[in-house]
Amino acid sequence: MYRKLISLAMASCATFAFAQVDVDALATEVEADVIEWRHHFHEFPELSNREFNTAKYVANYLTSLGLEVETGVASTGVVAILDSGKPGPVVALRADMDGLPVKEQGDLSYRSTQMGEYNGQDVPVMHACGHDTHMAMLMGAAKILTNIKGELKGKVKFIFQPAEEGAPSGETGGAEVMVKEGVLKNPDVDVIFGLHISSNTDVGTVRYNSGGTMAAVDPFKIVIHGKQAHGAYPWKSVDPVVTAAQMIMSIQTIVSRELKLIDDAAVVSIGSIHGGNRSNIIPNEVEMVGTIRTLNKAAREHIYESLPRKVNAIAESMGAQAELTLPLDYYYPITYNDPELTQAMVPTMQRTAGAENAIVSKPVTGAEDFSFFQEEVPGLYVWVGGKPLDVSEQDSPAHHTPEFYVDDSGMKLGVKLLTNFTLDYMAQH
């Protein structure tokens, strides 16, 4: 209770400290620019670690604001620093930059017709997850904060991150690489804020959660080695297909029978299975790949213990051999919203969006590499509504699909939140 009162008191102080700053009016003034930037990014998307023109566009604008700009961070990332010249905390604000190998459908005037290369193939490219809006909102916040530099105390670090969707095969990238390269150092970041547009959340609303808010992700691969035989004589084989089937069924019981799901959700899914090439040949090998999603460390640790136990025991019982690679090629930690920071920023969200529009939401089993920043410093990651009010949630297109759409009008709230998070945190500290 004491901590809660202190947090509320600090938030109240923040309101008075920046009473002379009309963030809503400033966001209204920059909104047309934000929409123009978003349309540009949407029309000309680039894939992970290939955001060359995107980075140049961002860097040129940040330089025009008079900021100290660094490019080439984690391949194509852009980082800019706004120094108020007065002592205070270092607040980081992050936006991701990459598009997806998705062919856009719809008739937007700024729809993408761009092509790119993904895993050696020419593919269409689309901002099918809203990263175009994230960049535009952060650029809008950068413009506002630069214009009110005299009101700030401390520094703001604007982080434009590549490869949130995952680096190309054989490459590294994203937040993990940015952290390794020292993006949270020089100056040392005290806190970081990020947001994600949501195609199924009403424009004008912000959703947040304290603690685990998006899942850790651990891809894995299982290779089952058996003995090949003619399909007419299965007794001469060690059948990796049947072994794989038993493994898949057993793996499902890790979540359904071993984890205490009333605490947090978890997922173990097989997404791909390959083996054999003819109907009448039992193959000698089957390969499966899958994903693990967890919202707390205990569940992740349990699955790490249980999965190899089941895989090896079933393989042995069938006379086969199994190789488990876990994690396979990358790992995202839990996107964990620092509880004390979240509580301190609740009044900010309520004041910015309206108390009725700041909604506590349940965690989701999607993943975000913003989590790498949160492993180093306290962070808060929220969802901002992008669904038009006249569209039902059931009819709103999902992220990562050709029909994905979010409305321009949702971005103003994002600009205001990034600005107010910065102002209020500076006032509190």
Give residue-wise pLDDT tens across range 205-237. Answer: 999 999 999 999 999 999 999 999 999 999 999
Cα–Cα distance, 257 to 193 (Å, whole number): 37
Three-state DSSP state, 233 = coil
Angstrom distance (rounded) from CA 166 to CA 175: 10
Q: 81-102: string of b/e by CB count within 10 Å (b at 16+)?
A: bbebeeebbbbbbbbbbbbbbb
The two tokens of residue 232 are 């007419």
CA 14 centroid distance within chain = 28
% of the chain at pLDDT higher than 90: 92
Say whether pLDDT at 8 is over 80.
no
Could you give the CA distance from residue 306 to residue 251 in angstroms, rounded to a whole number? Answer: 9
Across the beta sheet with 285-294, the strand order is 266-274, 285-294, 216-225, 321-325
What does pLDDT average to over the chain? 94
Mean pLDDT of 87-110: 97
Question: Going by C-beta distance under 8 Å and a sequence separation of 6 or more, which residues neighbour residue 186?
Answer: none
Helix (H, G, I), strand (E, B) or coil at 161: strand
| Domain range 216-325, CATH architecture | 2-Layer Sandwich (3.30)
pTM across the whole model: 0.90
Residue ranges per structural domain of the chain: 2-214+334-428, 216-325
Mind listing the pLDDT tens digit for each residue in 132-166?
999 999 999 999 999 999 999 999 999 999 999 99
Phi and psi (nearest 5°) for 169?
-55, 130
**What is the DSSP code string of 234-273?**
GGGSB-HHHHHHHHHHHHHHIIIIIS-TTT--EEEEEEEE
Render 42-70 in DSSP notation, one character per residue.
Answer: HHS---TT--HHHHHHHHHHHHHTT-EEE
Model confidence at 10, pLDDT cuts 50, 70, 90, reads very low
| Mean pLDDT across 316-341 | 96
Residue 358, pLDDT score: 98
Instruction: Quickly state the pLDDT bin for 14 (edges 50, 70, 90).
Output: very low
Residues catalogued as catalytic? 98, 164
Q: Which CATH code of 3.40.630.10, 3.40.640.10, 3.40.1440.60, 3.55.40.20 fits the domain covering 2-214+334-428?
A: 3.40.630.10
pLDDT at 264 over 90: no
Cα angle for residues 353, 355, 361 (degrees, 5° grid): 85
- pLDDT value at residue 348: 98
Does pLDDT of 293 surpass 60? yes
Where residue 221 falls (left for φ over 0; alpha for ψ -120 to 50; beta otherwise) is beta
